Structures are given as C-alpha cells and as structure tokens.
Structure 1
Amino acid sequence: MRAVWLREFGGPEVLVPGPAPDPVPGAGQVLIEVAHANLTFVETMFRATGFGPFARELPLIPGNGVGGTIAEVGPGVDPALVGRRVVSSTGGTGGYAERVAVAHDAPLPVPDGLPLDQAVALLADGRTALMLVRAAGLRAGERVLVEAAAGGVGSLLTQLVTAAGARVVAAAGGPRKVALLRGRGLDVVIDYRQPDWPDRVHAATGGLDVVFDGVGGPIARAAFDLLDPGGRMLSFGLAGGTWADLPAEVAAARKVTLLRPSAPPHELRALTEQALAEGAAGRLRPLIGQRFPLERAADAHAAMQSRATVGKTLLDLP
C-alpha cells in the first residue's frame, strides 16, 4: 500500500512517501480503508522534534486520526461491520496510509447525512471544542474571546459560544483570516497581528469574561490582561510556539481562573460522538480549509507550520 514514512525528526521534508506492507487485522481488530487522514498541529511538532504523546521509535508511519470504510475484520469481530463508514483514532501512528488496522472498538460510526470528510474534521477538533466549552461553564451574555478563531478548533468554538448565548470576539492573524471569519457571519473580528488589537477588543467589549487561548505567547498574555475579575482563561493550543507565561499567583491576584482542560478516554469518546451528532444535525459546521493528496503530506505540514492554513487540513486518498 501507499504510505508516508517518518525516518528521522526534522523539517517537513522528512515526511517521505513510499510503499508499506498491507496491514492485516489481527484478533479483535478491523481494517479501515482510509479516505481522509486528519492532521493536527501537534503532529507537526512531533515530526520536528519527537515531542508529543506519540511513540518515538523510528521509522514509523505518522497519523493519529482517519476516516474511511471498514474493509475487513479480524478473528472474533462481527463481520457485519464490513462496509461501515467510520472515523477512528489510530493509537498515535499509521494514519498517513491507504489502510490501517485498529482495535474493533476504536472506530466510531459516522451518522447518516454527515459527509465523511466533515466527520474526520470533527474527530479531534470537535471533541476538543466541546470539552473547552463545557469546562468554561459559559453563561448567556458573557463576553468571550476566541483566539486562532480561523483554525479548526477555533472556528468550532465560535459556533458553540454563539449557541450558548454568549458574545463572540474572534481573533485571527492576518487580513485573509479576518475576512474569512466575517464571511462566516461573525460581527466582531480582530486581527491580532495589529499592535492595537487589545485596545480594539476592549473598545468592543469593555472587558472579557472568558478567553479561549489557541495561540499562547505574548498574544495570550495580552488577552489575559483583558479579563475582568472572575474571568476564565482556557488554553488549548500554542500556534505562537509557546504556552502563555501566566504565573498562578498573578492569576489569583487578578481573580482569574486558568484552565487547561483534559478528559479520560471514555469522556473523549463521548464528546466525539456528540460532535459527530451535532455535525449531522447541522449545528456544528467544520471548516475544511485545505486538502492535500497523501504524497504531499510534507507540503501539508509546511503549510500548517507556517500558519498559512485555515480550519482543518486533510490528506485525501482516492
């Protein structure tokens, strides 16, 4: 089968397409014929440095999320699963390939009416966005800043915050992303590459109750300074390269709660199921900003790393 290999850590060019043995589903496993592979920012960090939650033994086929059709089952698995459209985590590796074998209980069925590519776009980002909104305990009328609002998680957060009755301030980097967000119906959109962006947020809101921090670094610190007492700051990404430097004692003095939510596997699975259901019902619309064929995984990583992408980036397999 066709696959993409990582044989050394480094720049995007270390992702090299090549042949790989066809996986065979073992006892308790299913084989997924992959139509779309999900790409996440943490995968670009892992490729560059080996940092992240994935196993470091090289060589390996990267990729932690796929969508496709169950093509075969191993011993002890219900053959009725063959032909089912599913999305699935892979356990950390194997996703950048035409086929992948996973435990039979890893895949989630894709609801009728939800296109498979949208389901893949919701696989990781949807559950993350739902987890963040749940942890924030949003209340109607609150003023909420979503950083990296043109990204995969951020674009979903803007929808969930609006649905909760809160007021969204969307922040993104550069005029292209600002225009995209305005085109998606958001009224208050700020370009955080402009030096006066905190002043603009304050002028529009008078202060903030919640910040969803997907950028980190100085942007996050400036957003923190806009929070009123009793505010909450939830960090979910570091597109800027580093987490925000926010000492706990400073937050306590400001009466701001700092949160970096997580959840055990069974809760993440339930959140993914919820995201898929919301997508099927049309209440959660993932933004798929760019697609690459499998062989151009290196180009996909380069685009994500340069922050030139919007929404979700997918690898498409014919």
Structure 2
Amino acid sequence: MLSVVMEEFGGPEVLRARQVEDPVPGPGQVLIDVTYASVTFVETQVRSGNGPFGRPSLPRVPGNGVGGRVVAVGEGADSALLGTVVVATTGGEGGYAERALARADEVVPVPPGLALRDAVALLADGRTALLLFRQAEVQPGEKVLVEAAAGGVGSLLVQLAVHAGARVVGAARGDRKAELVVSLGASYVDYSRESWLRQVREAAGGGELDVAFDGVGGAIGTAAAGALRAGGRISLYGMASGADATLDEDDLAARGIRTLGLFAAPGPAETHRLIGQALRLATEGVLRPVIGQVFPLTAAAKAHAAIEARATLGKTLLAVGDREAATEGSASGTANGDR
C-alpha cells in the first residue's frame, strides 16, 4: 500500500510517500480502508522534532485520525464492523496511508446523512471544541472572544458559542478569514492590527469579556487575559504564535479568573462519547465543519507546509486514492471550502 513515511525529524520534506506492506489487524483491532486522513498542527510539531510529548521512535507513518471502511477485523473484534464506514483515531501514528489500524472499541460509525470528510474533520477538532466549551460553561448573553477563529477548533467554538446565545467575537488575520467568521454568526476582528483589543470590546458591546478561548498564545493570548472581567474564564487550546501566553497567576487568582484548557486528555470512553456527540451535532445542523483544503496523500508535505505558514482555513485533510465516491455512498457534504 501507499503510505507517507517519516525517517528523520525536520521540515515538511521529510514526509515521503512510498510503498509499504499492508498492516494486519491484531487482537481487538480493525483494518480501515482509508478515504480521508486528518492533518493537525500537533503533527507538524512532531515531524519537526518539537512535539509536546517528546520525540517518537523512527521510522513512522504519521497521522492520528482517519475515516473509511472497515475491511478486516482481528481476533476478538466485532465482525459486524466489517463494511461499516467509520472514523477512528489510530493511537498516534499510521493515519497517512491507504490502510490503517485502529482499536475496534474506539471506532465511531458515521451517521447517515453526514459526509465522511465532514466526519473526519470533526474527529479531533470536534471532540476538542466540545470539551473546551463544556469547561467554559458559556451562558446566553455572555461576551466571548475566540482567537484563531477561522481554524478547525476555533470555527467550531464560534458556532457552539453562537448556538448558546453568547455575543461572540472571532479574532483571526486577513479578509478570507473575516468572511468565514462572519458567516458563522460572529463579529470579526483582525488581531494583526494594533487596536484589535479595543475593537473586540466594541464588537462585544463594550466593557470586559466573560470568556476568552486562546488558540494563539504569545502576546495575543496575554492581552486577551487582561481583557477579562473579574470572575471570567480563559481557555487555553493552542499556540499558533509559537509561544504560550504569559499569564500572571497571582493576578488571575486575585481577579477570580479561572484558567481552563487541555491539561489532561480525556479517557478512551469520554473521547468516544465526545466524537459521537460532535457527529450528531453536525447531523442536526448545529456544527458545520469547515474544510478549507484537501491535499492528496502524496502531498502530505505540502499540507504540513501550509499549516506552518498559517495559510490554511478551517480543517486540512488528506484524500487517499480514488475511492471517495465508493466510500461516501449517498452521504451529502456540508463542508465549506476548496480543494
């Protein structure tokens, strides 16, 4: 099968497509004929050798999320899964390939009416957005800032906050992202401008913010924390700037501000539940995954380069082979984007 193999750490060019042996499902595993693979910012960090969990062993096939059809099951796995269209995490590697292994008890069937590419777009970002949003306890009428609002997680946080009745301001950079954020029901502010924080307050109706979702870090996240009211919340979910926000813990404590975020990963059962909830919300029209770009599997290096250059909109996927129509069946896509 064709896969993308990484034999060294470095720039996007270390991702090279080559033929390898098909994986064989072991006990409790399934083999998925992959149609789409998810690409994440964390995967670019791992490739560079600067991932959050240290350097993994090499060589390896990157990719932690796929969607496709189950074509084989290992010992002890439910044979009823054969032929089922699913999304699944892969345990941290193996996703950038024509076939990938996953734990049978962790695959999530794609609901009828939901396009497979939308389900893959929600696999990681959907569960993350739901977890962050639940922690923040956003209430109707609250003033909410979402940074990196045109990204995969940010665009979903905007939609969840709008659906909850909050007054939402999405911050990003550039006219293309502005159009997207406004289409999701939020006001837009370009945080590359010096007056961006004043514009956020004006767009939110004046005064201080109740909640800030910080997906940028650095000076942007630091400024957002300073704009919160006493008793507010800041949720840390990314560092697109390349650095964490500088937070004065004593000051936050004195103002009664809660710091939330992805400090501990949910267990397998909770992860499975969150993915299922994200897919259901998509079928109900509450969430619309934004897929800004789809690269062929052989262009995984270009996908990584685009993410690192902050040239992407919404979610980035890899399309595997020419089996898309056969796998998606009659599912209708809701994604908004170009290829």
TM range (shorter): over 0.9
**CA distance in 1 between partners of 2:77 and 2:225 (Å):** 50
Runs of 4+ in 1 over 6 A off after TM superposition: none
**CA distance in 2 between partners of 1:185 and 1:47 (Å):** 32
Q: Identify the match of residue 292 of structure 1 among 264, 281, 295.
A: 295
Corresponding residue for 1:308? 311
Which stretches in structure 2 are left out of the alignment for 5+ residues?
A: 323-339
- Residue 88 (structure 1) aligned with residue 91 (structure 2): no
AA paired with 1:236?
A: Y
Q: Quick check: 2:49–2:55 contact (8 Å CA) kept in 1?
A: no
Q: Quick check: 1:54–1:93 contact (8 Å CA) kept in 2?
A: no
Corresponding residue for 2:99? 99
Corresponding residue for 2:154? 154
**CA distance in 1 between partners of 2:213 and 2:228 (Å):** 11
1:254-300 Cα deviation digits (max 9, x unpaired):
32111124433321221111001111222211000000000000000
Corresponding residue for 1:264? 267
1:197-224 Cα deviation digits (max 9, x unpaired):
0111122232200000100000001111
Corresponding residue for 2:19? 19
Q: Secondary structure at the match of 1:290?
A: strand
1:5 CA drift (Å): 0.7
Q: How do residues 225-244 of structure 1 correspond to structure 2 at under 5 angstroms?
A: 225-244=226-245
Q: Quick check: 1:50–1:56 contact (8 Å CA) kept in 2?
A: no
Corresponding residue for 1:172? 172
1:164-216 Cα deviation digits (max 9, x unpaired):
1111011011222112222x143510000111101111222322000001000
Corresponding residue for 2:79? 79
The sequence identity of aligned pairs, in percent, is 53
TM-score, normalisation: structure 2: 0.91
**CA distance in 2 between partners of 1:89 and 1:244 (Å):** 29
TM-score, normalisation: structure 1: 0.96
Deviates more, 1:217-226 or 1:170-179: 170-179
AA paired with 1:238?
A: M
Deviates more, 1:21-30 or 1:216-225: 21-30
AA paired with 2:147?
A: E
1:24-63 Cα deviation digits (max 9, x unpaired):
1122221100000001110001101142347711000000
**CA distance in 1 between partners of 2:184 and 2:157 (Å):** 14
Q: Secondary structure at the match of 2:307?
A: helix
**CA distance in 2 between partners of 1:3 and 1:44 (Å):** 17
Q: Quick check: 1:29–1:101 contact (8 Å CA) kept in 2?
A: yes
1:232-266 Cα deviation digits (max 9, x unpaired):
00000111111111021121123211112443332
AA paired with 1:315?
A: L
**CA distance in 2 between partners of 1:254 and 1:19 (Å):** 57
AA paired with 2:167?
A: R
1:3 CA drift (Å): 0.3
**CA distance in 1 between partners of 2:171 and 2:142 (Å):** 16
Q: Quick check: 1:145–1:211 contact (8 Å CA) kept in 2?
A: yes
**CA distance in 2 between partners of 1:28 and 1:180 (Å):** 41
**CA distance in 2 between partners of 1:216 and 1:187 (Å):** 21
Q: Quick check: 2:214–2:221 contact (8 Å CA) kept in 1?
A: yes
Which stretches in structure 1 are left out of the alignment for 5+ residues?
A: none
Q: Quick check: 2:29–2:77 contact (8 Å CA) kept in 1?
A: yes
Q: Quick check: 1:5–1:16 contact (8 Å CA) kept in 2?
A: yes
How many residues are matched?
A: 317
Q: Residues 187 and 99 from structure 1, CA distance in 2 versus in 1: closer, same or farther, beyond 3 angstroms?
A: closer
Corresponding residue for 1:249? 250
Q: Identify the match of residue 274 of structure 1 among 271, 274, 277.
A: 277
**CA distance in 2 between partners of 1:55 and 1:27 (Å):** 27
- Residue 63 (structure 1) aligned with residue 75 (structure 2): no
Q: Residues 283 and 237 from structure 1, CA distance in 2 versus in 1: closer, same or farther, beyond 3 angstroms?
A: same
Deviates more, 1:269-278 or 1:300-309: 269-278
AA paired with 2:169?
A: V
**CA distance in 2 between partners of 1:79 and 1:203 (Å):** 57
Q: Quick check: 2:46–2:52 contact (8 Å CA) kept in 1?
A: yes
Corresponding residue for 1:209? 210
- Residue 124 (structure 1) aligned with residue 124 (structure 2): yes
